[in-house]
Amino acid sequence: MTHSQPLAPHSFPRRILVAVEAYSPQTITEALYALSQTAQPCWIPTEIHIITTERGRDQVRQALLHDGWLTRLCADYALPEACSRLDFHLITTQQGKLLWDVRSEQDNEHTADFISQQIRTFTADPAASVCVLLSGGRRTMTYYVGYALSLFGRAQDRLKHVLVDDCYFFLNDFYYPPPQSCWQQDRDGTPFDAALVEVTLADIPFVRLRDGLPQALLAGSATFSDTIAAAQRRFAPPRVHLDWHGAALRCAGVAVPMPPVQLAFYAWMLQRHVQSQPPVRWTDVEEQPLAEQFLHVYRRLHGATGGYEQAAAALQREGMGKSYFDERKSSVNAALKKALGLAAADIYLLHPHGGRPVTRFGLRLPVEAISFR
């Protein structure tokens, strides 16, 4: 059995080539030629997806399918049938209306959201490696697709840019170097052998921010702006707000839902931190027992509702034991990571302090970042 390796994108069973297109369908055939013939190791897509407008689709379809340039490329280099098929994804508004072109500010917003969702979908499959082509679209389209890959891309995903000499740009008869000599004329009328044209596929490095995004954004349909905001939270100063009356928690301006017992546990830890009390371990003996401290916070936050009576009965019977403490701590951290993303959540987590066997847990937040209502 072959196992796919993140640093070997060609080893993945599903290989997705994604291109944004406007007026230069040549970049698709040039990239496919370079990926399959000159790249080391070669990366042959199992599917090709084109993100474009109605106008862009018509141009790509005419050149690559009706005029047959894609079929010729596949025949010349014995590429698999999958390389001769194109899946079009036409940019739409939130109301489902197709865009003819990207011109207005509103068109750009729709384009950003649409491209972001497409890249999120393509990168959701762990059995796939995704290669995004940066050439071919309007500048805003290429910006958005590159940024989207930075947000959602994984170790096995790549960002590429195809390059040929300026004199070969947008020639009606040059779509890739053929395997045999074929003389043509460039824009200045100078003859050249198309078989000798060098096509370069540059690998564009990009920062992968995926691990910093909340799971809800990776699985949902958030807008491009919402996703950017989530990625930026990891760089913002930490802020925690606990609403005693509303029994609600917000971190970095984001609501963090927790069941009553977990919220009470975190509120207890926040209160200890603000009062300059040290990190705590379930075995610690303090003037007021740990179970009593926790129940006092629980009752203040939820009153006699939210399972308070059950929690009080369990703690009065058994005290604050290891199992109870560890379960609450782990559940709190899991809720923070789910709401904020792994990277952004780190500063808000209940962290270990000291080494085993006497590890204690508490916050590393600056006290001034915490506010109570």
pLDDT tens string 269-280: 999 999 999 999
pLDDT given at position 325: 95
**Residue 353 forms beta bridges with which residues?**
360
Residue 366 or residue 226, greater confidence: 366
pLDDT given at position 1: 41
Average pLDDT over all residues of the chain: 89
Q: What is the CATH number of domain 9-230?
A: 3.40.50.10770
- The average pLDDT across 350-357 equals 89
Which one, of 355, 361, 365, 303, lies nearest residue 327 by Cα? 361
Which tokens sit at 372?
């109570």
Residue 235 or residue 181, greater confidence: 181
pLDDT given at position 344: 84
**Residue 39 forms beta bridges with which residues?**
none
pLDDT given at position 257: 95
pLDDT given at position 92: 86
pLDDT given at position 137: 62
Distance separating alpha carbons of residues 250 and 268, to the nearest angstrom: 15
- The average pLDDT across 216-231 equals 74
- Is-contact 329 338, C-beta < 8 A? no
- The average pLDDT across 119-139 equals 90
Listed range (173-177, 230-234, 283-287) with the worst mean pLDDT:
230-234
Residue 47 has pLDDT above 80, yes or no: yes
Angle at 286 between CA 323 and CA 266, to 5 degrees: 50
Residue 281 or residue 135, greater confidence: 281
Angle formed by the axes of helices 308-318 and 322-340, nearest 10°: 140
Q: Over the stretch 321-342, which tens digit does the pLDDT of each residue have?
A: 999 999 999 999 999 999 888 8
Distance separating alpha carbons of residues 155 and 105, to the nearest angstrom: 33
Domain ranges of the chain: 9-230, 238-372
Q: Collect all residues with Cβ–Cβ distance below 8 Å to 319 and sequence separation of at least 6.
A: 289, 290, 291
What percent of the chain clears pLDDT 70, i.e. is strictly above it?
Answer: 97
- The average pLDDT across 152-167 equals 91
- Greatest Cα pair distance, the chain, in angstroms, is 93
Record the pTM.
0.72
pLDDT given at position 360: 95
Residue 230 has pLDDT above 80, yes or no: no
pLDDT given at position 353: 94
Confidence category of residue 172, pLDDT binned at 50, 70, 90: confident
Listed range (5-9, 211-215, 278-282) with the worst mean pLDDT:
211-215
Which one, of 86, 77, 99, lies nearest residue 48 by Cα? 86
Residue 165 has pLDDT above 60, yes or no: yes
Which tokens sit at 228?
């950017």
How many CB atoms within 10 Å of residue 100? 14
At which residue do the structure tokens 């609403």 appear?
243
At which residue do the structure tokens 């190791």 appear?
41
Listed range (10-19, 72-81, 228-237) with the worst mean pLDDT:
228-237
Which tokens sit at 194?
């198309």
Residue 3 has pLDDT above 70, yes or no: no
Residue 318 has pLDDT above 70, yes or no: yes
- The average pLDDT across 193-219 equals 85
- Pairing of the two strands 158-163 and 128-133: parallel
pLDDT given at position 357: 81
- The average pLDDT across 27-32 equals 95
Angle formed by the axes of helices 224-232 and 105-122, nearest 10°: 70
pLDDT given at position 221: 67
- Is-contact 60 86, C-beta < 8 A? yes
Distance separating alpha carbons of residues 24 and 38, to the nearest angstrom: 21
